[in-house]
Amino acid sequence: MDKKTMIEQAYELAKAQYAALGVDTDAVVAGMDEVQISLHCWQTDDVGGFETPDAELGGGGIQVTGNHPGKAKSLEQMRADLDKVLSLLPGKQRLNLHAIYGDFGGEVVDRDQIEVKHFQSWIDWAKERGMGLDFNPTCFSHPMADSGFTLSSKDPKVRNFWIEHVKRCRAISAEMGKQLGTPCVMNTWIPDGSKDEPIDRNGHRAILKDALDEALGTPYPKEHLIDAVESKLFGIGAEAMTVGSHDFYLGYAIKNNKAICLDSGHFHLTESVGDKISSCLQFVDDVLLHISRPIRWDSDHVVTLNDEVRLIASEIVRNNYLPRVKIGLDFFDGSINRVGAYVVGTRAAQQAFMQAMLEPTKNLVKLEEEGKYFERLAYLELLKTRAFGAVWDYYCLQNNVPADEAFITEIQQYENEVLLKR
C-alpha cells in the first residue's frame, strides 16, 4: 500500500472517531486556511539584519545562542531559506520583517532615513508568493540605543531619532498593506529599562507615552496598517524596570485603540498568555501573538506542541477570535539547523490550532454549564488519545507537503547542498 492510500485510510478512521464526538474533520481541514502564521524573518540569521555587511545583534537585552553552520548572510540566502521553509509547511503563511532587513543595496542608511524603496523588493517577493507582510521598528543594536533608552530617553536627540524611525516604519508598513491587499501589523517594542532600581520610573513612562503619541499619530487606513505595542517583563541589563511594562502598554492600547502584543516569553513563567487573551479582547479590537517557548524566562526556544501553546490556540478557537488575533512566532535558535527550527516551530503552532478545532466545544460548554465537571474532564482526556495525527497527515497531503518525517530528510539534504557551502 502506498503512503497516500495509507494516509487517506487512516483519515477515514479518524473522521469516524471524531464524528462520534460531534466533530466534522472535513470542516476542520478546510478551516485551517484561516490560521495564517507570520514567520519571523530573524530566525534565518540570528537577528543580524543587513544594514552593513558585518551587522550583528547587540544591545537591548536580546541574545542568540549557538553557531550552527549555514546562517543566512545576504538577502538572497535569506529568501532561499524562507522559500525552503514555505515549501515544507501546509496552509498559508505571512512574513514578519524587522527594519534592519531592508534591501539597502550596499548603501548605509540610518534608521531615521529608511523608506519604502528599501523594502519594495520584499513587497514584490511577497506578492509573487501571495502572502502578506508584517513589520517591526528595530530599536536595538544601534549606537542610539546604547544608553538603554530609546523612545523613553530623556535626551531629546535620542528620543527624536527613534520617533522618526517609528514614523518611517509606519509609512513603510502602510504601503506594504496597501500593495499586498492585506493589513500589515506593525509591532513596536523597545528595550528601554534600568539595570538597578530607578528613582524616576514615572518620568520615563510619561516620556514614552508622549513619544508614542507622536510616533503613532499619523492616521492610516486599518485595511493597510494595524499598530501593535509589546511589553516585556525585564531584559538583560534592564532587570529592575522596563519602561514598557504590560500594564503600561495595555492601558495605552485600550486608550488609543491599538492592538496589544502578547509574547509568551515576556511574562512570569507562572503566568499564562492563553489566559490573557479573552481579557484583553474585551477592551481592544486586536491582539498580536508572539508565540515562543520560554524555558527560563524569555529564552526564545523553538515552539513545541506544549500545554501553553495548546491553551493559546484553544482560547482563540473556542471564542471565534481568529479574525481578531494576529498570530506570529518569535524565537531564534542558532544552535540547530535554522530552517529545521522554523519548520518544527511553525508546524507545532499549526497543530495546536488544529487540535483546538477538533474539540467538541459546544458539548463541553454544555457539560460545564450543567456542572458536570467529571464528564468535562473525562472528555478532555479522551481527546488526547484521538487520532489527531491522522487528520494532520491528511491536511499535509491536501497541501502537497511532507506529512511525516520526510520533511527531516528534505532539510538534511538542503543543509548538505546549500547551508554547509556558505
- 127: CB partners within 8 A, 6+ apart: 179, 180
Active-site residue, selected from the candidate residues 42, 122, 125, 189: 189
Which stretches within 216-283 are classed as H helix?
246-256, 273-280
For residue 35, the number of C-alpha atoms closer than 13 Å in the C-beta half-sphere is 27
Asked whether the beta carbons of 338 and 43 are under 8 A apart, the reply is yes
How far apart CA 274 and CA 316 sit, in angstroms, is 8
Active-site residue, selected from the candidate residues 40, 165, 266, 326: 266
209 assigned to active site: no
362 assigned to active site: no
Cell of 387: 487520532
Active-site residue, selected from the candidate residues 300, 315, 359, 415: 300
Active-site residue, selected from the candidate residues 40, 178, 224, 232: 232
Active-site residue, selected from the candidate residues 45, 286, 330, 359: 330
232 assigned to active site: yes
189 assigned to active site: yes
300 assigned to active site: yes
266 assigned to active site: yes
E strand or H helix at 316: helix 307-318
Active-site residue, selected from the candidate residues 290, 308, 393, 415: 290
Cα dihedral sign for 352, 354, 358, 359? positive
Active-site residue, selected from the candidate residues 45, 46, 230, 393: 230
230 assigned to active site: yes
How far apart CA 173 and CA 136 sit, in angstroms, is 9
**Which contacts of 198-204 are long-range, i.e. CB under 8 A and separated by 24 or more positions?**
198/240, 198/241, 201/241, 201/243, 203/154, 204/149, 204/152, 204/154, 204/243
162 assigned to active site: no
Active-site residue, selected from the candidate residues 298, 308, 359, 410: 298
307 assigned to active site: no
In degrees and rounded to multiples of 5, residue 326 shows phi and psi of: -95, 120
Active-site residue, selected from the candidate residues 46, 81, 175, 263: 263
* Catalytic positions: 189, 230, 232, 263, 266, 290, 298, 300, 330
